[in-house]
């Protein structure tokens, strides 16, 4: 028992304990909101599943913080093979979730969302590729390097969206890719070229590859009366979300007393619109607390990367920071009715075992960066 206690103390000293505490605080806050949001549901499995996911997430945080990512990324072909196998499994065994996207693999009553795993492995692979290109004679901004990066992204993005039709999580991969390329120092001209190419391709994509429903989803936040004049169809969710947020005021209607949080007016209130539950029942104070916790987590991730002393670790942290930032921005934007509803959950707060466990695993990798940094500093101190 003493040995276990000593190991625990030593781990907490070396690992990123403030990051762990922030993640736990956000998850516990999420549990409080999920309990309120699911009280009106007949199915009582939500809280047990989320609590189990939190415990499993803590285990993953510790395990992943002890992983040397340099060793894993040097065996990039194994990660790439794993990604392809996961995509193949999604194609063969994938099932539609609540949103209709083919983005889940289910084993009995347990559902796993492969995109949550793919985000982590994609960041690991991309950090290795960018570092390798930077160290090569061609450099990161050379034509060959830019094309190889684009092909890597296009392979994952294209295959995933074709298999799953999950545009929301596909966009997360795009933001991760852009954030890591920017952090890696890719020439800004390549970004401008990509934007120009996207602008040229947009009319074709809009008319030939998007259904009318998908186009309406994109236009709904900006032309609600044109897309859905009665407000009973595609704009129903964001309308109810905005009403819930507005009715909360400064301090909210009271925990467990939100009209929409306790009723059936707000769809997906425990997942996509958990922020609206916080706004209705806890008001601006509750929303500000969520934003503060997520901002502190993102800042902690960025600071860990900047202080890592390793370019590969810095890229790793930039990828995870970009992932969290976009998911927070898009989810809260959906709740405010200023971005399209694409089914992206709020990290640590929304219900979802796959999302919560993957978030803790990702933050465990960030903690591992700090752990190895402290290990190097202690070694230098002892040798000096």
pLDDT tens-digit series, residues 81-110? 999 999 998 888 887 766 567 788 887 767
With vertex at residue 329, the alpha carbon angle to CA 28 and CA 317, rounded to the nearest 5 degrees, is 75
Structure pTM?
A: 0.94
Average pLDDT of span 250-279: 93
Q: How far is the C-alpha of 171 from the C-alpha of 186, rounded, in Å?
A: 20
CA distance 309 to 214: 44
Q: Which residues contact 281 (CB under 8 A, 6 or more apart)?
A: 36, 248, 252, 253, 254, 255, 256, 257, 258, 261
- Is residue 378 very low, low, confident or very high in pLDDT (cuts 50, 70, 90)? low
Per residue in 35-79, pLDDT tens? 999 998 877 789 999 999 999 999 999 999 999 898 888 888 899
What pLDDT is recorded for position 110?
A: 74
């Amino acid at each position: 028992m003493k040995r276990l206690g000593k190991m625990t103390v030593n781990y907490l000293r070396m690992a990123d304990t403030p990051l762990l505490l922030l993640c736990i605080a956000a998850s516990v806050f999420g549990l409080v909101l999920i309990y309120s949001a699911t009280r009106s549901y007949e199915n009582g499995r939500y809280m047990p599943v989320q609590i189990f996911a939190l415990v499993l997430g803590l285990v993953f945080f510790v395990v992943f913080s002890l992983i040397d990512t340099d060793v894993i990324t040097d065996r990039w072909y194994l990660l790439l093979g794993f990604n392809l196998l996961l995509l193949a499994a999604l194609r063969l065994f994938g099932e539609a979730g609540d949103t209709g996207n083919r983005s889940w693999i289910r084993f009995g009553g347990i559902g796993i969302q492969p995109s949550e795993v793919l985000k982590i492995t994609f960041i690991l692979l991309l950090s290795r590729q960018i570092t390798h290109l930077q160290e090569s004679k061609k450099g990161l901004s050379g034509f060959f390097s830019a094309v190889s990066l684009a092909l890597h992204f296009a392979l994952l993005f294209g295959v995933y969206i074709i298999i799953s039709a999950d545009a929301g999580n596909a966009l997360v991969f795009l933001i991760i890719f852009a954030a890591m390329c920017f952090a890696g120092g890719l020439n800004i001209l390549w970004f401008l070229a990509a934007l120009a190419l996207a602008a040229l391709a947009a009319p074709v994509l809009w008319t030939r590859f998007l259904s009318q429903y998908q186009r309406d989803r994109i236009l709904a936040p900006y032309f609600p009366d044109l897309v859905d004049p009665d407000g009973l169809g595609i704009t129903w969710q964001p309308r109810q979300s905005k009403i819930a947020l507005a009715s909360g005021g400064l301090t909210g209607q009271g925990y467990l007393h939100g009209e929409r949080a306790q009723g059936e007016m707000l769809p997906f209130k425990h997942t996509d619109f958990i922020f609206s539950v916080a706004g209705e029942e806890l008001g601006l104070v509750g929303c500000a607390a969520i934003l503060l916790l997520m901002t502190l987590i993102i800042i902690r991730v960025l600071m860990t990367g900047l202080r890592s002393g390793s370019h590969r670790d810095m890229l790793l942290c930039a990828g995870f920071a970009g992932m969290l930032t976009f998911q927070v921005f898009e989810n809260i934007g959906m709740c405010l009715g200023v971005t399209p509803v694409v089914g992206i959950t709020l990290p640590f707060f929304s219900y979802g075992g796959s999302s919560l466990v993957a978030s803790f695993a990702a933050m465990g990798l960030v903690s591992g960066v700090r752990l190895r940094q402290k290990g190097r500093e202690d070694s230098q101190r002892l040798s000096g």
